[in-house]
Amino acid sequence: MTDRIYTTDTANATLEDLRKRLPRLREARRRVVGASARITDAVASDGGGVAGTDWFKAQTELKSEIEHLAKEGILLRDPEAGLVDFPADREGRRVFLCWQLGEDEVRFFHEETSGFSNRKPW
* Domain parsing of the chain, residue ranges: 8-121
Residues (pLDDT < 50) of the chain are none
Helix/strand/coil for 88: strand
3-state secondary structure 24-74: HHHHHHHHHHHHHHHHHHHHHHHCCHHHHHHHHHHHHHHHHHHHHHHHHCC
- Supply the pLDDT for residue 45: 61
Q: What angle do CA 58, 61, 66 make, to 5 degrees?
A: 125
- Supply the pLDDT for residue 11: 98
